[in-house]
Chains A and B, each alone.
Chain A
């Protein structure tokens, strides 16, 4: 008996639609969000993450009906991230049915938001997302705005700071690996996972089922997040779980 490692499919949402695309190009409607979420639940997904990639803050709240619809019918944890700037944003998303809120750029521009949101709603629902780029051997820098802006912050130190401020989990994305389908940045994943006492979700670069397994076995991650390998029918979550269980990774099989 042991805590299972988690597999988390990630869905992109823009302007109130769940979409799929490659590197934000050629966005296509991916179908009904409830139906997609239900399918992943049936396949054994341990959580589902929705990433709001809406560029305009005017359209930001259009994600709320999607979360409401999914939460009323799919009973596994739902995380929502993207464009969260205030405690009021956190409250709105929680009230819509999200269980955890991902905070990325705002954690850097306003770290107090992480502390305030964790204080008010509990650390368990605050996930700090970190986008990191390798700058030297064994050294990674935090970037914002989807990897465009360098912050000068060391990713490992930043993760520790966020845990201290009250983050309940770290969603760690390698900007070098994201979209390459060549596997997680295992050095980065291991460095952060060893440094913090809270769970770490590895993200960015998954191209095969072995990549998922490596994220946990070699990277030390508690959970792995992936999008394209599940969206495009390459693999089901169930296949991924069976593959990982065969490598002695504790998995909840359905």
Chain B
């Protein structure tokens, strides 16, 4: 059976992620776990993250699962969400925090002071709400999802991949930024598929069946 582990290292609400996965993959065994044994025996991993990057990295380290996650990230399909995406990079400007270094690049904060949105209103930080995702590159996980589909975002920081080939989705908020990144068996999004209604569920469904 397809065993999908939502990695529990003490940060964020993992249940909505697990429930969305269960909704699209009733035949899979979706569990929320912080056990090394579960991560080792998983077929797929989802790495969520919520709150501040320094707290997330500290929690991951102290939870004792970081090594198992790193090991899994070498071969198993892994989906990073929100701060779980940001953690895959080398370093974040949030608290000058080193990340996992699975993707070259850094995480920076929106600096939109003085800029106006197209409709004349101010940019707010965090970016909170639904924004369009342009599919910068084809990817198996985009199957059945319209280019420029809306997904739900809540964030003040975003990743800047060093290698543009790692950017598979982009969103415009002040300027274009990478909102979906991928490399080999890794796919990660700044937005929240579990809160993005039909488009988000389709993305998770594609992940559940993904054979990288």
Question: Which residue on A lies nearest to B196, using beta carbons?
Answer: A75
**Contact: A1 with B197, CB < 8 Å?**
no
**Contact: B13 with A252, CB < 8 Å?**
no
A197 to chain B, nearest CB (A): 6
A93–B51 Cα distance when bound, in Å, is: 17
A41 at the interface (CB under 8 A from B): yes
Q: How many residues of B contact A (CB 8 A)?
A: 40
A179 at the interface (CB under 8 A from B): no
B158 to chain A, nearest CB (A): 13
Residues of B within 8 A of A169 (CB): 128
A194–B132 Cα distance when bound, in Å, is: 25
**Contact: B13 with A94, CB < 8 Å?**
yes
- Residue from B121, B153, B195 in contact with A99 in the complex, judged by beta carbons closer than 8 Å: B195
B212 at the interface (CB under 8 A from A): no
A122 at the interface (CB under 8 A from B): yes
A16 at the interface (CB under 8 A from B): no
Residues of B within 8 A of A6 (CB): 129-130
A199 at the interface (CB under 8 A from B): yes
Residues of B within 8 A of A71 (CB): 15-16, 19
A77 at the interface (CB under 8 A from B): yes
B124 at the interface (CB under 8 A from A): yes
**Contact: A252 with B150, CB < 8 Å?**
yes
**Contact: A1 with B171, CB < 8 Å?**
yes
B154 at the interface (CB under 8 A from A): yes
Residues of A within 8 A of B13 (CB): 94-95, 97, 99
Contact digits for B119-136, partner A, Cβ 8 Å, 1 yes 0 no: 101101111111110100
**Contact: B131 with A199, CB < 8 Å?**
no
Q: How many residues of A contact B (CB 8 A)?
A: 39
Residues of B within 8 A of A223 (CB): 129
Residues 177 to 199 of chain A near chain B (Cβ within 8 Å): 193-194, 197-199
Among A41, A46, A99, A194, the one with the most B-chain Cβ atoms within 10 Å of its Cβ is A99
**Contact: B16 with A124, CB < 8 Å?**
no
Question: Which residue on B lies nearest to A45, using beta carbons?
Answer: B197
A168–B173 Cα distance when bound, in Å, is: 18
A121 at the interface (CB under 8 A from B): yes
Given contacts A1-B131, A252-B150, contact A220 B15 (CB under 8 A): no
- Residue from A121, A122, A168, A220 in contact with B121 in the complex, judged by beta carbons closer than 8 Å: A220
Contact digits for A215-254, partner B, Cβ 8 Å, 1 yes 0 no: 0010010110000000000000000000000001110101
A144 at the interface (CB under 8 A from B): no
Residues of B within 8 A of A109 (CB): none
- Residue from B52, B122, B132, B195 in contact with A76 in the complex, judged by beta carbons closer than 8 Å: B195
B20 at the interface (CB under 8 A from A): yes
Residues of A within 8 A of B198 (CB): 254
Given contacts A2-B118, A2-B119, A71-B19, contact A198 B130 (CB under 8 A): no
**Contact: A4 with B51, CB < 8 Å?**
no
A165 to chain B, nearest CB (A): 15
A3–B43 Cα distance when bound, in Å, is: 35
Shortest 3 CB-CB distances between A and B: which pairs? A1-B172, A122-B51, A252-B150
